[in-house]
Structure 1
C-alpha cells in the first residue's frame, strides 16, 4: 500500500541558491530573446496545440481519489507538444507533453486550473537544480566556453554526458512514446510520480522527419487516447522523493484517460496555447509539485513568464 510518510528535504539556504540560479537562467533566456524574439526559455519550439478531454477513472482505490481525481468526471483540456531545444527540432533532444486541465474541481475547490508537465525521459541524472542550470549553461555555450566549463567541473560534464545519452535514444513520435513527470507531485496526503502511456503501438517510420505531421495525420483519421497513470510513494529506498535519477520501484495505477478527439491544426488554438503558461505550480493544493528541483523550477517558470511577456 502507498504510504503517507514521505518527506521533502530543504537544502541549507535553499532560497538564496535558487535566487542565484535564476540569474544564470535569466541571462540564458536574455540571449535567446535577443536572437529569436519573445518566447519560452526552454521547450520554446511548439510542435502542436491540441484540444483534449481528461476523463477520471471510475472505482479508483481510496488512496487515489484525491484532488481532481476524487470522483469520476470529464474535464476539458489543452495540450502543448514541444521540442526541448531553444529554436529548432534536432537530436539529441528531450520532448515535452504539457496538459492544462480547464475548469476542474476538487472536494475543496471549484473551477481549478490544473497543469501537468511531462517529458520523454523517466529520470533525470542530476543531483539537484544546480546541476540542471549547469547543464543548460554548458549546452548553450559556444565550443570554447563549453570546453573551459567542462574542464573546471568534471562531475557536471559526466552528468551532461549521461543525460545526452538518454536524449539520443530513439523517439518515435508523440503518439507512440511514453512521457513522465520525473519528479513527484502531492496526491492529497500521498505522493506520486505520473506517466502518460503511449496512445498507439503503430510506429510511423516517417514521424521523426515531421513530428507535427505525424500527430495531426493520426488525428485526421481517428481519436487518440493516452492513459494517465500514477506511481505512489511507498518508502524512501524504493521511491525517493528528492532523487530524480532513480526509477521508482512501485506499481502504476491508471487514474485517468487523456482523449484527443479528431482535429486539424487550428491557428487560433495554437496562438492561445503558445501564449499560455504550462506551469506545474499552477495546480490544486492537493497536487503541488514536490522536491527541491521543483521548488527551483517555480522561480524559473515565473521568470520565464515575465521575460516572455516582455514586461519591464
Structure 2
C-alpha cells in the first residue's frame, strides 16, 4: 500500500508550539463550574449521574486496530511506529449532557480506546496500557479556545432542564436556518450545535480529532473514515426519527448486528504553524497543504452494539480522555488542555453519585459480548 506524503516537511514537535494564556486556569475553572451545573441538573432530574457532555450513547463496538506496515518515518510514530494489532472499544454518542429524543439533532461524537499499548505515558496515565482518542463529526472544533467554548456553552447549559418538546422545536428551526446558511455556501457551527445537525445515520459519519495532538516527533490531527462499502454508503443517509426517541441507537444496533465494519484511521501532519495553528482549534488545516493519510485500519465484526450489560460497563464504569495515553500523543492546544481536568471531574462525579468505580481497563476480557 502506498502512503502519499505531505507537500512539505512536517513541523517538529517542541513544547514551544503551545502558548498558555495568563487566565487559562481561571477559564478552565469556570468551564468546570458550568459543566458541573449540567451534571448536577441531570442527576437531580434522573437520579443517575451521567457525563457532562456526550451523555447519550448510540452504540458501543468491540473492534481490532491494525497499524499499517511500511509506513514512512514521518508516519511511523508513537502507537504507529511499527505494524501491530490491538483490541479497540468504540463509543458513538451525541454531544449534550442530557439524554434527549434523537429528533433534537446535534453533533455526533466517537470515543476510541485502544488496549495493550506499550510506551512512555502521559502524566496521570502512568499505570495505564491504553491510548484514548476523542472525535467529533467536524474537521475543526466549534470554538477556537476554551474561553470561547465556555461563552457558547453557557446558553446551552441553561437549556438543560428545558422541556424536550421545546428542544425538538428549536432543533427543527435550527435545521431550517442551517440549510439557508448552506445554500449561500456556508456552515454555522453555532446553529449545528444548537440542534441544526442533519438527521443522518451515525455510522456513516467521518470523525475528526478537531484539535491537535503530538505525533511522536511531529504534530497531527486525526480522522476516522468509514471505508467498507456498506458502511460508507451510510454517509449522509437520513434517518426517520419520528416517534423514535432512541432511533439512532436502533439504527446502529440493527446495522452492527449483520455487517462487518471497517474504518481508516488517518493523520494530517502539521507542516506550517501559521495556516495550521495549534492554539486555535476552530481552524481546519488545509488538506491541499497536508492531506489526511491512512496509518491504521479498524475492523468491527458483526455484533451486539448495545445491551443492559454494555450500558452498565460503558456508561457507568469507564471514561474516555485523550489524556489517557502515550506521551507521544500528548494533546496540544488550549481546547485539549481544558479537557484534562474536565474529563477527570466528570468521571469522579459519576463514580461518587452512582457508587460505581470509573476505571481505565487494561483489556476487553471483562467487557460484555
Q: TM-score range by the shorter chain?
A: 0.7 to 0.9
Which string of whole-angstrom CA distances, capped at 9 and with x for unpartnered residues, describes residues 53-87 of structure 1?
11111111111111111111110011111111221
> Quick one: which of 92, 97, 121 aligns to 2:110?
97
For residue 263 of structure 2, what is the aligned residue in structure 1?
226
For residue 80 of structure 1, what is the aligned residue in structure 2?
91
Distance across 2 between alignment mates of 1:259 and 1:51: 9
Relative to its length, the structure with more strand (as a share) is 1
For residue 269 of structure 1, what is the aligned residue in structure 2?
310
Q: C-alpha displacement at 1:111, in angstroms?
A: 6.7
- TM-score (ref. length: structure 2): 0.74
For residue 202 of structure 1, what is the aligned residue in structure 2?
233
For residue 248 of structure 2, what is the aligned residue in structure 1?
211
115-124 vs 199-208, greater mean Cα deviation? 199-208
Whether the 8 Å contact between 1:186 and 1:286 is mirrored in structure 2 is: yes
Whether the 8 Å contact between 1:51 and 1:78 is mirrored in structure 2 is: yes
Which string of whole-angstrom CA distances, capped at 9 and with x for unpartnered residues, describes residues 192-236 of structure 1?
001111242323856353222222222222210011100011111
Distance across 2 between alignment mates of 1:281 and 1:208: 37
Which string of whole-angstrom CA distances, capped at 9 and with x for unpartnered residues, describes residues 73-109 of structure 1?
1100111111112211233411111111111224889
Distance across 1 between alignment mates of 2:42 and 2:153: 13
Distance across 2 between alignment mates of 1:215 and 1:309: 27
Distance across 2 between alignment mates of 1:288 and 1:92: 32
State whether structure 2 residue 280 is matched by structure 1 residue 243: yes
> Quick one: which of 2, 12, 18 aligns to 1:4?
12
Distance across 2 between alignment mates of 1:142 and 1:191: 37
- TM-score (ref. length: structure 1): 0.87
Instruction: Determine helix, strand or coil for the equivalent of 1:135.
Output: helix
Whether the 8 Å contact between 1:92 and 1:164 is mirrored in structure 2 is: no
Whether the 8 Å contact between 2:27 and 2:146 is mirrored in structure 1 is: no
Whether the 8 Å contact between 1:70 and 1:106 is mirrored in structure 2 is: no
Show the 5 A alignment for 1:175-194. 175-194=203-222
State whether structure 2 residue 30 is matched by structure 1 residue 17: no
Distance across 2 between alignment mates of 1:65 and 1:95: 29
Q: What RMSD in Å do the two structures reach over aligned CA positions?
A: 2.5
Query: Structure 1 pair 282/139, CA: closer, same or farther in 2 (3 Å)?
Result: same
> Quick one: which of 123, 130, 134 aligns to 1:113?
130
Number of matched pairs? 296
Unaligned runs of 5+ in 1: 146-160
Query: Structure 1 pair 218/21, CA: closer, same or farther in 2 (3 Å)?
Result: closer
Show the 5 A alignment for 1:159-170. 162-167=188-193, 168-170=196-198
For residue 139 of structure 1, what is the aligned residue in structure 2?
156
Distance across 1 between alignment mates of 2:152 and 2:111: 22
Query: Structure 1 pair 61/100, CA: closer, same or farther in 2 (3 Å)?
Result: same
185-194 vs 132-141, greater mean Cα deviation? 132-141
Show the 5 A alignment for 1:140-159. 140-142=157-159
State whether structure 2 residue 63 is matched by structure 1 residue 52: yes
Whether the 8 Å contact between 2:199 and 2:239 is mirrored in structure 1 is: no
